[in-house]
């Protein structure tokens, strides 16, 4: 990893730690897990920070890791209505998985009634379970 990428990752890790979103556990890699299983990618997907998402993915973050309650980064982005984050995650091949409740990203978009995200997911072949 080059120095610029390392500095960007360090900045992302420190910002996540400072926010308290990772608890007391230090972040040591792109796929470090907090209690419950969420990774830095899950956290920045909730935030909708496209630059951070892109940086983590370019540095090897596993886009399909399931964290707390079986949520993926895509599910968090969908649930929070972060359209740009949803687009980045889809373009990086986020899989159409189910969380621990049997919900897909498309289901979560339907629950939040976000027509824009529903359209993006539908266009990219994602499915509803109900």
pLDDT of residue 82: 97
| Letter string b/e over residues 31-59, b meaning 16 or more CB atoms within 10 A of that residue's CB | ebbbeeebbbbbbbbbbbbbebbbbbbee
pLDDT of residue 20: 93
Enter the DSSP assignment of 29: S
Q: Are 82 and 48 in contact (CB under 8 A)?
A: yes
pLDDT of residue 4: 67
In this structure, what token pair is assigned to residue 45?
A: 């997907």
pLDDT of residue 1: 58
pLDDT of residue 104: 97
The C-alpha atoms of residue 126 and residue 105 are separated, in whole angstroms, by: 8
pLDDT of residue 35: 85
Q: Are 97 and 64 in contact (CB under 8 A)?
A: yes
pLDDT tens for the chain, residues 1 to 130: 577 668 999 999 999 999 999 988 899 999 999 988 999 999 999 999 999 999 999 999 999 999 999 999 999 999 999 999 999 999 999 999 999 999 999 999 999 999 999 999 999 999 988 7
Dihedral sign of CA atoms 92, 98, 101, 105 in order: positive
pLDDT of residue 23: 87
For residue 23, count CB atoms less than 10 angstroms from its CB and return exposed for 0-12, middle for 13-18, buried for 19 or more: exposed
């Amino acid at each position: 990893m080059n120095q610029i990428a390392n500095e960007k990752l360090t900045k992302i890790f420190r910002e996540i730690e400072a926010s308290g979103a990772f608890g007391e556990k230090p972040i040591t890699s792109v796929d470090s897990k907090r209690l419950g299983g969420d990774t830095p990618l899950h956290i920045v997907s909730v935030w909708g920070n496209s630059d951070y998402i892109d940086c983590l993915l370019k540095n090897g973050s596993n886009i399909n890791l399931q964290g707390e309650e079986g949520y993926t980064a895509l599910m968090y982005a969908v649930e929070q209505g972060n359209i740009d984050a949803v687009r980045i995650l889809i373009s990086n091949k986020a899989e159409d998985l189910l969380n621990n409740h049997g919900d897909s990203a498309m289901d979560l978009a339907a629950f939040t009634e976000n027509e824009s995200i529903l359209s993006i997911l539908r266009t990219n072949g994602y499915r509803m379970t109900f």
